[in-house]
Every structure is written in structure tokens, then in C-alpha cells.
Structure 1
Amino acid sequence: MKFIISEIPPLSFRAFCLFFGGLGILGLARASGLSIALPVGYIKKLCWVCLLNIVGWNVMATYGLSLLPAGRSALLGYTMPIWTVLLSVWVLQDKFSLRVGIALLLGIGGIAALMSESLIAWFSGPLNIQLLLGALLMVAAAWSWAAGTVLMKLWQIPLNTVVLTGWLLLLASLPIMVAAAIVDGAPRQLPSKLALWGVVYNVFFAFMFCYWAWVRLVSLVPVSVSSLSSLMTPLIGVISSIYLLGEQPGWPEYSATLLILGAVAVVNFGGKTPNKPPEAAAPNARDAS
């Protein structure tokens, strides 16, 4: 993504991937004989999940990534499990324990470490607005993703996982396509072959497969478990940014990695299983694809 958005405007890139990813998933669902009709009474809830889990995350994370090193962006974006657990205390009535409090402090420490350059510059010299804005966007994107995940768990929208994923992506693409037409305008030149292959990878793997896998996981396990499953991503992001983009992480990235993983470890290990949300009425809500 860091490489692609250097050639393709962020909104255009996201709109393209979401539209064709959602269309592809719904096409596969229909070809498999699944009904793609939206459930009566759940459309408003579906739109809220779409706005937070897909639109908010994709737009803010893409712009945040354009302003920060890729490894640092991944670490900030994947503070999502921390916000997920905190929101689950409020929305799903999970108990706020000492364990959660310690995790929150560790998570805030990790965010502070990644924002340390901007914070130091605030007091010692000219503020690096780009780094600060990028960090704030990534944290806001993580919170948006977490909020959408908790609402998805709470409402248990009665749709097959494949169909639900397709509608979430397709609906999210519509406002982003309008914004891309206004902000980005018409393409000025054809992207390189590598960037185009990156778009293909994002449509088929990052959007069609991985979004389906995420929605499926959220429907099957407690939010803390599904959140924990995403924590390999920032580690891969930091490592791959070194080898693929030539970035050189320093003490902020290394210390934030330990603090953030420590926060998630405290949250997810040794505690009681979170309360289960109400079950969906439709029997096919948990059907496998």
C-alpha cells in the first residue's frame, strides 16, 4: 500500500479495491446459490458497521500511511485490539478490570513512543505537523475499526459471512468513489506494472479474502480473540518495511512494539471469557461459506 499510494491517489485506490472486492464477493455468493438480499430491519445497522469498520478505517488509515513510515503506521493502526476491549466494556458490558487498566496504560505508552518525535519537537523546535497528523489519523482509524467490530459483534446481522462482507465492501465504496472523483479527479497517467499488480493483490487477497476472514472470525469468537489475531500484522509491517521499502526503524518502533504487544498480552491472557452478545435470529448468520 505504501508503494501503491505513491502512484495512485489514496481515495481512488481504496474506492477501486472496495468496489471490485465487494462486487466480486457478492458475485461468488450468488454463483454459490446464496441469497444476497439485505435483511429487513438491519439496513441501518449494516450502514453503521460499514461506516466505522470499512469507510473510517480505510480512508483514515490510507492517509495516515501516506504521512508516516509504513512500519510505524502498522503499529499505530493495530492498536485496534486495545480500543476494542475498552469499547466492549461499554457496549458489550464486559467487566473493566485491573488487567484492562494496565493494558490501557501500556497501549498509551506505545502510542506516546511512536509520537515521541512530534512531542519532543513540540517543546524543542518546529513541530512536524506531518508526523503528528499521520499518527492521529492512524489512531483514529484504529478506533473506528474497533468500534465497527464491537457493533458487528453486538448486532449479529443475520447474513451469511460471504454476503455480509460483500455488502460491507460495496456500500463502503460508494461514498469513497464520490470523494475520489472530487478530490483526486481523473487519472493523469497509467501506474507502473508493479503498482497495478499491487492493486490486484489488494482486490483479491487483502479485500476479498482477508475481509471475509475477518468478518467470519468476529462472528465466531469473542472480540478479544479476534482482535488478538490481527497482531501479527504490525510485526510483519515493521519487518517488511525494512526489506521492501528500505525503512530504518529506531527506538520508538522497537519500544512501541514491546509496549503494544504487552498491552494485548495483558488483555487477552489470564482473564475470563467476555460476555457473549445476543444470538442472531437467523440460523444462517454463522453458516460457513
Structure 2
Amino acid sequence: MKLFRHIMLGAAVLLAQVSSASAADVKLPVVASFSILGDIVANVGGDRIAVTTLVGPDQDAHVFQPAPDHIKSVARAKLVVINGLGFEGWMERVVQSANYRGDIVVASNGIAVRDRVSDEHDANDGHDHDHHHGKNDPHAWQNPANIVVYTRNIVAALSKLDPAGASVYQKNGDTYIAKLNELDRWATQQFAQFPDAKRKVITSHDAFEYFGAHYQVKFLAPQGVSTDSEPSAKEVANLIRQIRKEKIRAVFIENMSSPKLLQQISKEAGVALGGKLYADALSQADGPAPTYLKLMRYNIEQLLAQMKLN
């Protein structure tokens, strides 16, 4: 009888250990709207969450078309994290189709929102350059100081959803913020080496307003804030004249944009195309920008290299 009790007690302890381990292995399903945001969420959540990204690496959120698998991912999620500022114009119908009733975290809440700034090449030509974003520029992640705010919002949301992991999320968030601040200090020092006249860049579309304002770099683009726009012939001609007049040599395509337009512009303006910049999406895992921190450092190094040629 005593042996039987020992066996039963041992079995109960083993079962409790297995159940505890199984509970610990269950990760919170979290959906992030696009690849850059997914990486930030993963840094905060660590091993306690499983992140699904709707718009993946090298994909364009501006023209994203949700598929049934995306709807299923949202339906299973315990938390959905979006950028906000009109970036995910398709998210409302995804949430409705998934019958999602959980929290939706707007990561950009609390940042200093910038309006899209029109340059002389896109003013008063009768075209709508705001597209579906309205006046707000949604590309706030291009300033690492804004990602500090994103990170804190994500820490708060995950801690609310999973109080048992709050200390882990806070620690992960603090570690990530330290890396963001280190990146920002380095970038500021690098750009400080160049006079304003050399801090001029041509890109595919207006995705770098936050970056430009933060680091005092002037970005010009033939497209508006959305890649689903087409610039007018007048815009393109004005931009070519500006490149020639200001002797701009930093001309870049973006990872999810067609290079044809900038190839035409660079040819007619007599300047060579620089490297590729990552604006709205990470690269694939084997590319140069598989994480947000690597994306920013890669972009900055590309810009610095081209500015040295000016």
C-alpha cells in the first residue's frame, strides 16, 4: 500500500511538471501589420510570444491585398499591433473579416506626428499627393527616437495581456531601447561630418521625412508617400532640373519599388544610381536588412557613402 502511494505521488508530481512545462511552451499569438513592426514586437516579446507578420519582407504595405491565411492569423491572435497614421488602410476590413475582438495596439501613439511635406516638384500640379494617408506621414519608424515610443507602447500592451511576463517585457524593452539610442548617437555623429549642401538625397517615394527631419537630410522623391501613386511628367521634369541645379549625387531606389522611374531620372539628370534603401520593409533573412536595427544602419551607411562622392 505504501509502495502504491509512492507511485501515485510520483506520477502526480511528474504530471504537474509536464503540465507546467506545456503551459510555459504555449506562446501568445501576436500579429504585427508589417515586417519592420514585427521585428520590434519580437524584440519586446522574446520567447513568450509568437509573432505573425501580415506584410512580409520586401513586400509593399501600400498595395497589400489580404489573403485568407492573413484573416486566419488575425482570428487566432491575442493581440494585433499596427503602425497607425493611416499606413494600414486595409486593416479594418481584415479585423472585421476575422471577427477579431481583442486589443489593437497603435504603436505610433504618442509620437510627434509629421505632416507630409510637399517640395517644389510636386506642388500645385492638380494631383492628389496625399493618397490614402491623408496629411499625416505614416513612416515614423524612420526616426529611431520614435521607435523608443513604439517599444514602450508594445511593452505596456504585452504586460497588460500577460501580467506574468511583465518583468520580462520591461527588461527586453529596456535592452532594445538602449540599442536604439546607441544607433541614434552613432548616426547623428556620422551625419554631422557633412555640410547641409551634401545632405540631399533622391529616393523612390516620400518615406524618409522623419529621417530627414531628425538627421537634417533633405529627401526628394518623384512619388508621394504611397507607392501606388504615379508622378506626373511635370513632377519628373522639375525633379530632374532640381538634381542638375543642386548637383545632387545621392540617388537611391527602394527595396519594394520598381527601379524604372529612378533609372530614367538618373539617366536624364546625368547621375548614377546609388545603392538600394530599405524604406517600408525588411529584407529577407539573408539580405542586408533583416532587422530594424540592421536596416537603419545599412541605410545610413549607404547614404554616407554616396554623400562622400558629392
TM-score by length of 2: 0.27
TM-score by length of 1: 0.28
Pair member with larger Rg: 2
**Which structure: greater strand fraction?**
2
**Which structure: greater helix fraction?**
1
